[in-house]
Chain A
Amino acid sequence: MSFQPTETDMTEPPHTARPATAPPALAVASGTGKRTAQTQARSVSLRNLHAYYGDQHAVNGVWLEFPANQVTAIIGPSGCGKSTMVRCINRMHEEIPGARAAGTVLLDDLDVYGEDTDVVAVRRAVGMVFQKPNPFPTMSVFDNVAAGLRLIGTRGSELRDRVEHTLKAAGLWDEVHDRLHQPGIGLSGGQQQRLCIARTLAVEPEVILMDEPCSALDPVATLKIEELVAELSRRYTIVVVTHNMQQAARVAESTAFMLNGELVEHGPTERMFTNPEDSRTEEYVTGKFG
């Protein structure tokens, strides 16, 4: 079965159910298919998600839907658990010693924490872009994009095609096509971040998690990433954690506000910023705290 957004007050619910022919299990990217301009991605839903660092309860019972092919922004003050929550979706949270998660995360109908679910397959379906650009320092621009593809066995001319295709999708091709074999860390900060996005896109995930992707970038580079996010949402389900409320307003169809590990409110971005239901949301978006 597929998940429908449960929000009833969506201004524009653009999603239809996933076709019945959709693969029921999590298909690891085969390395052959190219996503067409408009592709139905998978939705993500969190059901009573809890996350802990040792004794510290960082995420407390979050229920949240991330509709397919939409950009959802997560806002909230520092330390409110928004990054932790997002890292539970691709199970990166558990890489931290002493950290654990409880509750359910669904990718369409697939239980991310299910006993039969392979964590590696989850991470190939759910890509992640980090706060600071982190290209592999020993690899060239080309090899950075190819890193994930090589993991799934893509070789030769197909690899070259996919790298070019992905760099174009990330809006970086024109800037780097003549220095593909120079170190990735020689690029500017904004280019490095788009390189990291390309690296994530290369393995054709369904969902892309972005953990404050622009917080280390200047306004011009930020704008480019935001344009890219809008473009990518036609093909992917995107979750953007951000400190920057203007950014949430610019890129996201819906926005979720978190405070002290709890989800305070979630709804269409415009309503969240103009007419929030919860007084804490209003205080936050109007800059009274945070």
Chain B
Amino acid sequence: MTSLPDIGARRRRTDRVARTMLALATGLALVPLVLILFYLVKQGLGAWSLSFFTTDPNGRFLGDPGGVRSAILGTIEIVALASAIAIPAGIGVALYLVEYGRDGRFATTVRYFVDVMTGVPSIAFGLFIYITLVLATGFGGFAGWKGSLALALLMLPIVTRSAEVALTLVPDSLREAALALGAPRWRMVARVVLPTALPGLLTGTLLAVARAAGETAPLLFTATIVKETTANLAAPMNSLPAQIFSDVGQAQDQLVGRAWGAALTLVLMILVLTTVARLISRRSRLA
């Protein structure tokens, strides 16, 4: 019987040490994540009740401070409007970059600015809207739609970048097949490129929405913090991150508790969005 050459003891030892280190590093990274989730659930669930979701903050400093209905609905309204602005615009820019601009000078410049915008701190978008729209004469003042605009600016580069990646992943052979059939370019994009890239577009878009839903800074001095529920995007509008920001600094346990409850609500809303994005992208891999 032949035998394979022996693997040195030193090599086996190195392997074991390296593996242990990697496991330790992974464990270490998981600690804060688990702690955050644990605290969030522990503290947040305590604040939850039916009235937590069905009443607005009432501003009372003593006794029951009210729920976060206006914040939940405000977040949904503001983010919905922001998405309605940023998603079509972002996918449009990406379509231009991938299908028409390609490697031209203009497209390269646009790509560069999109990258720069991705790195702009979110508070800068809020400031920009504050200076140009909130302080403006005539239609000045805080309003939900201004918060939406600030979030849309924040989402635009994220949507553009992720959509660009999704569109680039569509094989050129499919574009050629469509063009060779005599499809005009716009038709090729609409019938072949967009449907093929759809799962990727959805995933990237939902992640951008999730990111925007959790942003505080762009909302603080655009949509600001109010108590009452409103469907009027022209009026100041409450939101979950702003509500948390306001509550957590208060010297009253019930207000701090409400901040925890609101944080748990927000995390769950984002978790649902992210899970949906995951499911969509997994389905596309199977196809």
By a beta-carbon cutoff of 8 Å, the part of chain A in contact with chain B is 28, 90, 92, 95, 97, 120-121, 123-124, 127-128, 130, 132, 134, 136-139, 147-148, 151-152, 183, 185, 196, 199-200, 203
Contact = CB atoms under 8 A, between A and B. Distances in A.
B268 interface: no
Interface of B: 102-103, 171, 173-184, 187, 191-192, 195-196, 198, 287
Contacts of A203: 181-182
B174 A123 contact: no
Contact of B102 (A97, A121, A196): A97
Contact of B182 (A120, A139, A183, A185): A120
Given A95-B179, A147-B191, A196-B177, A136 B184 contact: no
Given A134-B171, A136-B196, A137-B287, A200 B181 contact: yes
B180 A136 contact: no
Contacts of B187: 151
Contact of B192 (A124, A136, A185): A136
Nearest to B199: A138
Contacts of B174: 134, 136-137
A130 B173 contact: yes
A120 to B, nearest CB: 5
Contact of A127 (B180, B195, B198): B180
Contacts of A95: 175-176, 179
Given A97-B103, A151-B187, A123 B176 contact: no
A90 B180 contact: yes
28 contacts: A28-B182, A90-B180, A92-B176, A97-B103, A120-B182, A120-B183, A120-B184, A121-B182, A123-B180, A123-B181, A123-B182, A127-B180, A127-B181, A130-B177, A130-B180, A132-B173, A134-B174, A136-B177, A136-B178, A138-B195, A138-B198, A139-B195, A147-B178, A147-B192, A148-B181, A151-B181, A151-B183, A196-B177
Interface centre among A124, A130, A137, A139 (most CB of B within 10 A): A137
A242 to B, nearest CB: 18
A135 to B, nearest CB: 8
B180 A147 contact: no
A183 B286 CA distance: 12
Contacts of A28: 182
B185 to A, nearest CB: 9
Given A92-B176, A127-B180, 15 more contacts: A28-B182, A90-B180, A92-B179, A120-B182, A124-B181, A128-B176, A130-B173, A136-B192, A138-B196, A138-B198, A148-B182, A151-B182, A183-B287, A199-B181, A200-B181
A188 B132 CA distance: 59
B34 to A, nearest CB: 39
A136 B181 CA distance: 12
Contact of B196 (A124, A127, A137): A137
A76 B254 CA distance: 82
- The 4 A-B pairs of least Cβ separation, nearest first, read A124-B182, A128-B180, A148-B181, A123-B182
A11 to B, nearest CB: 32
A132 B176 CA distance: 12
A215 to B, nearest CB: 14
Contact of B177 (A120, A124, A134, A152): A134
